[in-house]
Amino acid sequence: MRAVVQRVTQAQVSVDNDSVGRIGPGLLVYLGVADGDGDSDVTYMVDKISNLRIFQDEAGKMNLNVQAIGGQILVISNFTLCGDCRKGRRPGFDLAAPPELADALYGQAVAGLRALGLPVETGRFQAHMHVQSENDGPVTFLLDSRKLL
């Protein structure tokens, strides 16, 4: 499982010009599910995303997590994070999970974050989405449950 995590002042996602998710300050998370991912990958991602200390404390140091600042999370399913661009000019997606598995694990990750009391919004699985965000910093991190990066 791979994720791009961005600290944002706001973000929203729309499908067919209808807003389906919107947050204020918090995290925009693009989440990709790889073939072979399972419960341990979900657990890893939920723990990392919820506990990443990437928000500034009163001394200006990145020392607070999303819950400490009362932030929100917008999680967008993104299979292209599992794309392989090492050969040729067109990405290969053999490493991406089949849609049924990806949808289930994406749902588990969202449920895991919500179970921690975090306000979580989502996009729409397998839909063509438009995402707007205002990156704060910019602060952007890559996470990989298999530590491949």
Q: Which residues of 105-115 are buried (b: 16+ CB within 10 A; e: fewer)?
A: bbebbbebbee
Sign of the C-alpha dihedral computed for residues 100, 102, 106 and 112 taken in this order: positive
pLDDT recorded at residue 147: 80
Residue with tokens 């919500």: 114
Cα(4)–Cα(31) distance, integer angstroms: 7
Q: Which domains does the chain have, with CATH numbers?
A: 2-144 (3.50.80.10)
Helices (DSSP H) in 63-135: which residue ranges?
99-115
Helices (DSSP H) in 23-94: which residue ranges?
39-51
pLDDT one digit per residue (tens) for the chain, 149 residues: 999 999 999 999 999 999 999 999 999 999 999 999 999 999 999 999 999 999 999 999 999 999 999 999 999 999 999 999 999 999 999 999 999 999 999 999 999 999 999 999 999 999 999 999 999 999 999 999 988 54
pLDDT recorded at residue 149: 46
